[in-house]
Amino acid sequence: MTEREKNRTNPQLDDEAFEILYRRFYPRLYNFALKITGEASVSQDMVHEVFIKLWENRSNLDGYNYGGLLFKMTRNMCFNYLKHKKVIENKSIDLKRSRQWEVLYRIEFVKDDPYLLIEKELEEQFQEIVNDLPERCREVFILSRVNGMKNREIALELNLSLKAIEKHISYALRIIRARFMLPVLTFLLSFFSF
């Protein structure tokens, strides 16, 4: 292929060629990015950034298929954005969890008056919920979680199947979570400022 033919199929990227590429590919790249990210403003910013990078590196791009390059750059930028977004979301969730456990840590180990009152109230609420469990379920839960017995030991002692023991414990934990854990954590988080 002669130099003239090469320039005709892939001309040097000057102002006019860049403008033509922008008008031709921007809508398609935007829609492509929007399908990946699901966010209009982010997709716009990414496509603009892709074109900026293309312009900044135009002298190194002789012989490239600009359309393919633009789509590849857009795809990579979208995937990097999604990875970064996922990392931020995970860190945010971890931070919320650590704050919840910090409150419980304060209650357990600091032992000053407000925390002792809260601890006493939490114990009372927990005991009330456990007492409201069906009799057999309560018995299995106490043997498992309070006395530390293994499921097989409880099954032998109460003459129940291992499956029945697991169901009782599962049911008790579900009731305790629903009635105790979420309202308590919500209360504690609203009570303490971080």
> What does the pLDDT look like over 154-188, one tens digit per residue?
999 999 999 999 999 999 988 888 877 555 555 55
Compute CA distances 101 → 104, 114, 129, 131, 148, whole Å. 5, 17, 21, 26, 23
Note down the domain range covering 75.
Answer: 3-92
CATH code, domain carrying 179: 1.10.10.10
- The number of distinct structural domains making up the chain is 2
Which residue blocks in 38-132 are alpha helix, DSSP H? 40-56, 66-109, 113-132
Q: Flag whether 98 is in a domain.
A: no
125 with 45, same domain: the answer is no
CATH code, domain carrying 20: 1.10.1740.10
Query: How far apart (Å, rounded) are the C-alpha atoms in residues 103 and 20?
Result: 59
Nearby residues of 130 by Cβ (< 8 Å), 6 or more positions away = 138, 141, 142, 172, 176
Give me the average pLDDT of each 10-residue run along the chain (194 residues): 44 75 90 90 91 84 78 90 84 69 61 66 83 93 90 93 94 84 54 46
